[in-house]
């Protein structure tokens, strides 16, 4: 990547996407997307989705006026018709949750002809949209974490780390904070799943157990960003629908394309229903692939580079550091 001398680059943030079920990915957060991350044909797909969401919002407001109820209440009715119902059933002394599929026609009953046609045409496009967005984020945003397995004192010449997914070359830097780097002196080829010993130059600072650093490009102190060989088929083969949805949510926030569903009647504007964002509630379908979880808590690294986070969150800001 060429340096642009006339651009004052902002601080770089690393955000964690995922949870204990999906695994964790670390992505560069830039508060915007590049043309490579948003090609013209992809923009057309997004426009179809936004057009449907706008029409659906207008239809919900019309129904609310006709019924004489708040927009938020009508939104619950319409979206409730699109989602599966859950009920508790007693089974051998324990409580189990039984999922009951609601007739999909119920949501169409609320829609006018134009909105229903838009929804019908989106059924295939929306799945491809999420898969492509997830693929772009892995191609252009993912970074490579190095996680320590114990406390480390200044002056040490080795790190016990979680087994990396790929070899680490000699003369590679690992960034633990904007000004703190560990310098690798011996190539590491992973041999076990339980952990590895990484040989480094004498470390000039302390690290706590669980501290997260990120690989830099060999011979530089610029973060190694992106997995250029990752393709859409890899996303389909390797990622769960939940992880795809989380990556899609991250992409939408970065691109600024999450729809704004302000109620123009001034009542319950921007209200989140059942703990989710209004834009997520107006997802075109109840399929799991586009059920986008709400954003989690924000956290940062401490002065030693170790992670400080809120348990249970799905996305977190981990680190700030200068780009390049």
Residue ranges of the domains in the chain?
11-31+145-223+298-322, 36-141+228-290
Please tell me the predicted confidence (pLDDT) of residue 103.
Answer: 41
- Which DSSP letter does residue 35 get? G
Neighbours of 165 (CB within 10 A): 8
At residue 253's C-alpha, the angle toward residues 248 and 258, to 5°, is: 85
Over residues 125-171, the pLDDT tens digits come to: 777 888 989 999 999 999 999 999 999 999 999 999 999 988 999 99
Give the whole-angstrom CA distance, residue 73 versus residue 273: 9
Give the whole-angstrom CA distance, residue 191 versus residue 209: 21
Q: Is the pTM of this model over 0.85?
A: no
171, 217 in Cβ contact below 8 A?
A: no
Segments of the chain scoring below 70 in pLDDT? 1-11, 40-41, 45, 81-107, 121-124, 257-324
Tell me the DSSP string of 265-305.
TSSSTTPPSTTS-HHHHT-S---GGG--PPP----EE-TTS
Give the whole-angstrom CA distance, residue 287 versus residue 104: 11
- Which residues are CB-contacts of 240 (< 8 A; sequence separation ≥ 6)? 21, 22
Helical residues (DSSP H) of the chain, grouped into ranges: 40-67, 71-82, 105-108, 113-140, 232-238, 241-255, 278-281
Nearest Cα residue to 182 out of 163, 166, 158, 164: 158
Please tell me the predicted confidence (pLDDT) of residue 22.
Answer: 93
Give the whole-angstrom CA distance, residue 224 versus residue 235: 20
């Amino acid at each position: 990547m060429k340096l642009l001398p006339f651009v004052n680059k902002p601080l770089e943030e690393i955000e964690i996407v995922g949870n204990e079920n999906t695994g964790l990915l670390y992505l560069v957060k830039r508060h915007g997307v590049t043309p490579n991350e948003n090609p013209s044909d992809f923009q057309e797909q997004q426009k179809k989705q936004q057009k449907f969401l706008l029409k659906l919002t207008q239809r919900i407001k019309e129904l609310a006026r006709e019924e004489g109820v708040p927009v938020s209440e009508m939104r619950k009715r319409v979206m409730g018709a699109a989602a599966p119902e859950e009920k508790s059933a007693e089974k051998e002394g324990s409580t189990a949750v039984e999922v009951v599929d609601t007739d999909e026609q119920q949501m169409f009953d609320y829609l006018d002809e134009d909105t229903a046609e838009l929804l019908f045409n989106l059924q295939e496009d929306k799945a491809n949209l999420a898969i492509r967005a997830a693929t772009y984020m892995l191609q252009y945003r993912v970074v490579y974490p190095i996680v320590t397995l114990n406390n480390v004192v200044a002056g040490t010449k080795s790190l016990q780390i979680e087994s990396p997914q790929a070899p680490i070359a000699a003369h590679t830097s690992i960034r633990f904070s904007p000004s703190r780097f560990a310098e690798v002196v011996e190539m590491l080829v992973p041999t076990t799943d339980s952990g590895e010993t990484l040989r480094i130059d004498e470390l000039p600072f302390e690290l706590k157990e669980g501290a997260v650093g990120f690989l830099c490009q060999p011979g530089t102190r610029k973060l190694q960003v992106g997995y250029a060989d990752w393709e859409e088929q890899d996303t389909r083969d390797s990622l769960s629908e939940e992880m795809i949805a989380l990556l899609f949510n991250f992409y939408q926030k970065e691109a600024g394309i999450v729809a704004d569903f302000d109620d123009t009647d001034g009542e319950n504007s921007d209200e989140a229903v059942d703990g989710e964002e209004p834009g997520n509630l107006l997802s075109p379908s109840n399929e799991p692939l586009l059920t986008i979880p709400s954003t989690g808590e924000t956290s940062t690294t401490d002065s030693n580079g170790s992670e400080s986070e809120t348990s249970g969150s799905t996305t977190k800001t981990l680190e700030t550091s200068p780009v390049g």
